[in-house]
């Protein structure tokens, strides 16, 4: 399953992860993911932002020299995406989270 949450704490859920789901009209969607390169002791993250028509808007990429478990890498990825969206004053953003454990932690904190 794919889980998405906007900055206004609304949640959307889709059951088909094979097709790209565009956000509602007037919103943007930020799809995030993180990766751990154990051999090089580096973590990385990427966030792809798309418009309501599905067009590419921008990409946020980051790397950090560290050894973190995959969950903490996803946490950093999510924080970086939130900070970037906040700095752009993007109030109509939907953040797509594909990590169930992170989603559950987020929902529990609300």
Query: β-strands 93-97, 28-37: how paired?
Result: parallel
What pLDDT, on a 0 to 100 scale, did the predictor assign at position 50?
94
SS (H, E, C) the chain: CEEEEECCCCEEEECCCCCCCCCCCCCEEEEEEEEEEHHHCEEEEEEEEECCCCCEEEEEEEEEECCCCHHHHHHHHHHHHHHHHHHCCCCCEEEEECCHHHHHHHHHHC
State the Cα–Cα distance between residues 110 and 92, nearest whole angstrom: 19
Kindly list the strands in the beta sheet with 93-97, ordered across the sheet, starting from the edge strand earlier in the chain.
11-14, 2-6, 93-97, 28-37, 42-50, 56-65
What pLDDT, on a 0 to 100 scale, did the predictor assign at position 19?
55
Res 66 pLDDT > 90: no
Res 21 pLDDT > 60: yes
Average pLDDT across the chain, whole number: 79
What pLDDT, on a 0 to 100 scale, did the predictor assign at position 31?
92
More confident residue, 62 or 11: 62
What band does 5 get if pLDDT is binned at 50, 70 and 90?
very low
State the Cα–Cα distance between residues 32 and 17, nearest whole angstrom: 14
Res 60 pLDDT > 90: no
Domain locations in the chain?
2-109
């Amino acid at each position: 399953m794919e889980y998405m949450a906007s900055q206004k704490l609304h949640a959307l859920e889709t059951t088909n992860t094979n097709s790209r789901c565009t956000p509602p009209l007037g919103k943007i969607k930020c799809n995030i993911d993180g990766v751990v390169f154990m051999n090089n002791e580096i973590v990385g993250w990427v966030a792809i932002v798309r418009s309501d028509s599905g067009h590419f808007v921008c990409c946020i990429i980051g790397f950090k020299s560290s050894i973190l478990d995959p969950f903490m890498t996803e946490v950093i990825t999510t924080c970086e995406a939130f900070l970037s969206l906040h700095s752009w004053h993007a109030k109509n953003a939907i953040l797509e989270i594909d990590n169930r454990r992170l989603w559950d932690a987020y929902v529990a904190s609300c």
